[in-house]
Structure 1
Amino acid sequence: MLSARFSFLLSFAAVSVFGASNLTETCQEPVVLSSFPDLTSCLTQPGLYSCENTTAIQNTCCSPTPGGLVLQTQFWSTYTGLETKGQLLPKGSWTIHGLWPDNCDGSFEQYCDPNRQFDPAPSPAKFPNGTVISAYKGPGVDTIVEKFGRGDLLDYMNDYWINQNAPNQDLWAHEFSKHATCTSTFDIACYGAKYQKNQDLINYFDAAIRAFHQYPTYDLLAAAGIVPSNKTTYKLEQFQNAIKAQTGAVPYFGCTQNGTILSEVWYFNHVYGTEQYGTYKTLDSTSKSSCNATGPIQYPERSAKSEHEVRGL
């Protein structure tokens, strides 16, 4: 049986993933709050996959550059640390980590725009040259989502984009501040003269969820007979083969405890078009797995108190 998260894909995508405008009532007339960038100039640009261009990209709003090796990353966590506050994991699903713009050579930039820094605990705390990355001390980014009238988005993020030992919105802020600010297609200039403050933030959250939908890790593994278990162990090759059979490529699998406990997966991609709406071409990982290459690996079960059935199913 397919997981709850995968079953929700179509209904959520139709409503919100593509950045549908929302209306916020005022005492005068409705105000349209959009999360779309202005991509009209891209209609006359030559199409290409990121990192596969032979000349410099002229309009960086049309293709992510230099961070054209896009990673959709996910966690397999067994607890949140905030269960008593109702912060739980989605049953039958991995969770979102983020959407990362690695450079085509595998290097990456981070915290590229101090004016769009919402991370309350930057990691790293300073750049290699010693410059400190100032911690954000304002309202959580969840309040910005609310101001855009995106209750649908906020609900979904609280179901599938889960932090550990800290509020969910801190993780969302971290991912936007560290990664989206280094992605050219989320540059403020790409939203045009009618840019609304924080429009890019909402757009990034939608884009991260859209990419997450492309890789239903729990379902892909379960379809190959690989399910969480505290008794059965697996080999790295089994995880890799299960994903490759459906995506055509081998992702990065990350493990803790000296490579014995599965904890994360990263899907590598080149993108045709923008990171927000383009087509993702899945590629083999450029990073070596931190999991044991030949020994047993545990894909641990979660306790019933740490997860919940997702809404609306």
Structure 2
Amino acid sequence: MHYSRILSSAAVLSYAVASPLNLYSTRADAPGPTCSKADSSELSCHSTANVSNTCCFNSPGGQILLTQFWDSKPVAGPVDSWTLHGLWPDNCDGTWEQFCDKTRESKDITAVMNKFGRTETLAYMQKYWKSNDGKDDSFWQHEWNKHGTCMSTFEPKCYTDYQEGQEIADFMDKAVEIFKTVDTYKILSAAGITPSTSKTYTLDDLQAAAKKVHGQEVVFNCKNGVISEVWYHYNVYGSAQSGKYVPAPVVGSPSTCPKTGIKYPPKDGKDGDSDGGSDGGSGGTPTATPPGPTDSPAPGPTATGSPSTGSPSTGEEFSGRGYLNVDKGGCLISSGKWYTKGTCATYTAAGTSSGFTLKSSKGACGLVNGRLECGADVTGATFTASDGKLVSDGSPSFYASKDATSGHQETVYTNAEGRSVTLAISWKGM
């Protein structure tokens, strides 16, 4: 399971007597493959092209999760911080691969980090990437062996002048780097959600606090009503090592916490009234596996389910972040095409003096030769709305050459010109 922190029973080798890896320090300044702008132009899980360069495009594990623990019993990590669990490459449909390459599994992460001069990262890991049984290196081995070996951009073929173990050091670096960007303790504290021996919290409050910073819902997991873990979802432009991470809707297993009465116990037995915490991670491993699929995430909006099917919700304002639903079923993906089988793209609607603009992860949305398109090279258009429907050039009607329910991605047009399907597009705010 994703959750399992348990690890091999082999004792952790000490640095002093470890493998010859410890004898060298050859840090590489640029981790991973060098990806051109063109190679990095497709967002994982959202590609509309047949991407063949999996050194610069994460596939099949394009839904990358940064996972953290809150361990209060037994305590692991600083009392004012969550701890790092791992970086997981889930597939774009909620499934995942595991233990993908036995030949590259590690038995000594500490030695690898020292070999490549990642001593600062290692020191951080020793404080914030903790196992609740005290065997931190075995825990790190488990995370790399199970998850890291399944990330396509970390394969040795993706490196120039590859050195054995280089991808392992890069994986650890990236997990720590992303972990530092989402300090869950501070995120929750800013919303008045602090560890307490008496208070309880609602799942809605936890989600609202996380979404305010992350921009998307996350997965909170509980055991017997006690919070134990959080999963942040991302898609990536380019390689997992050096690409751009974009917060993504949840795909996979949902939060296991109850809607109300969630306990957030302090690690030191005292109520946490401070406004912040340390600059990084937090507590160790959950002592039990919550229900749900092995190691995997929670369901985000898909083109075949809420919020994207059915009639448009009349009257909802095009503002902030949301989804563009199609009345025939499905929604618009990030390129602006209509789709019914995949994950709905997140759009941003920003008001102007005469209406609003739309933007997806691919770029601004506009009209290109009568087609609705979104991309880095698209000149943004100003749209309006009428009765909750998107309006372009005064009309709430859009068109497609055929029905996308067949599973094809269909171009959306602003004129009929013999096209057989008429569409209405509405906004569903997040």
1:5 aligned residue? none
Structure 1: tracts of 5 or more residues without a match: 1-23, 82-87, 119-137
2:159 aligned residue? 191
Match of 1:181 among 149, 152, 158: 149
Q: Which amino acid aligns with 1:63?
A: F
1:76 aligned residue? 70
Deviation at 1:147, TM superposition (A): 2.6
TM-score scaled by length of structure 2: 0.55
Q: What is the CA deviation profile of residues 125-170 of structure 1, one whole-angstrom value per residue up to 9, with x for unaligned ones?
A: xxxxxxxxxxxxx5x3212222323221211000110111141111
Partners of 1:240 and 1:37 in 2: CA distance: 33
Partners of 1:202 and 1:35 in 2: CA distance: 12
1:60 maps to 2:26: no
Partners of 2:40 and 2:269 in 1: CA distance: 51
1:90 aligned residue? 78
Q: What is the CA deviation profile of residues 143-198 of structure 1, one whole-angstrom value per residue up to 9, with x for unaligned ones?
A: 22223232212110001101111411111111111111100110111112x11110
Deviation at 1:107, TM superposition (A): 0.5
- Aligned ranges 1:214-229 → 2 under 5 Å: 214-229=181-196
1:160 aligned residue? 128
2:230 aligned residue? 265
1:274 aligned residue? 239
Deviation at 1:99, TM superposition (A): 0.5
Deviation at 1:38, TM superposition (A): 5.1
1:104 maps to 2:92: yes
| Cα 1:210–1:38 shift into 2, 3 Å | closer
**Are the equivalent residues in 1 in contact too, given 2:223–2:257 (CA < 8 A)?**
yes
1:291 maps to 2:257: yes
Match of 1:151 among 113, 119, 124: 119
Query: Which secondary structure does the structure 2 equivalent of 1:90 belong to?
Result: coil
- Aligned ranges 1:9-20 → 2 under 5 Å: none
1:123 aligned residue? none
**Are the equivalent residues in 1 in contact too, given 2:32–2:154 (CA < 8 A)?**
no
1:47 maps to 2:36: no
1:131 aligned residue? none
Partners of 1:142 and 1:39 in 2: CA distance: 23
| Cα 1:74–1:148 shift into 2, 3 Å | same
**Are the equivalent residues in 2 in contact too, given 1:102–1:109 (CA < 8 A)?**
yes
Query: Which secondary structure does the structure 2 equivalent of 1:42 belong to?
Result: coil
Partners of 1:148 and 1:80 in 2: CA distance: 33
**Are the equivalent residues in 2 in contact too, given 1:111–1:182 (CA < 8 A)?**
yes
Higher fraction of helix? 1
Higher fraction of strand? 2
Match of 1:206 among 167, 173, 193: 173
Partners of 1:112 and 1:239 in 2: CA distance: 34
Deviation at 1:214, TM superposition (A): 2.0
Partners of 1:227 and 1:169 in 2: CA distance: 30
Query: Which secondary structure does the structure 2 equivalent of 1:99 belong to?
Result: strand
Query: Which secondary structure does the structure 1 equivalent of 2:61 belong to?
Result: coil
Q: What is the CA deviation profile of residues 249-293 of structure 1, one whole-angstrom value per residue up to 9, with x for unaligned ones?
A: 110000001xx1000000111111211222222123222111112
**Are the equivalent residues in 1 in contact too, given 2:26–2:115 (CA < 8 A)?**
no
Identity of aligned residues (%): 39
Match of 1:238 among 201, 205, 212: 205
TM-score scaled by length of structure 1: 0.74
Query: Which secondary structure does the structure 2 equivalent of 1:89 belong to?
Result: coil
Partners of 1:46 and 1:199 in 2: CA distance: 21
Partners of 1:64 and 1:302 in 2: CA distance: 37
Deviation at 1:98, TM superposition (A): 0.4
Partners of 1:46 and 1:74 in 2: CA distance: 27
| Cα 1:50–1:250 shift into 2, 3 Å | same
**Are the equivalent residues in 2 in contact too, given 1:251–1:266 (CA < 8 A)?**
yes
Deviation at 1:201, TM superposition (A): 0.6
C-alpha RMSD of matched pairs (Å): 2.3
Partners of 1:263 and 1:169 in 2: CA distance: 21
**Are the equivalent residues in 2 in contact too, given 1:269–1:281 (CA < 8 A)?**
yes
After TM superposition, the runs of 4+ consecutive aligned structure 1 residues lying more than 4 A away are none
* Structure possessing the higher relative contact order (Cα contacts under 8 Å, 6 or more residues apart): 1
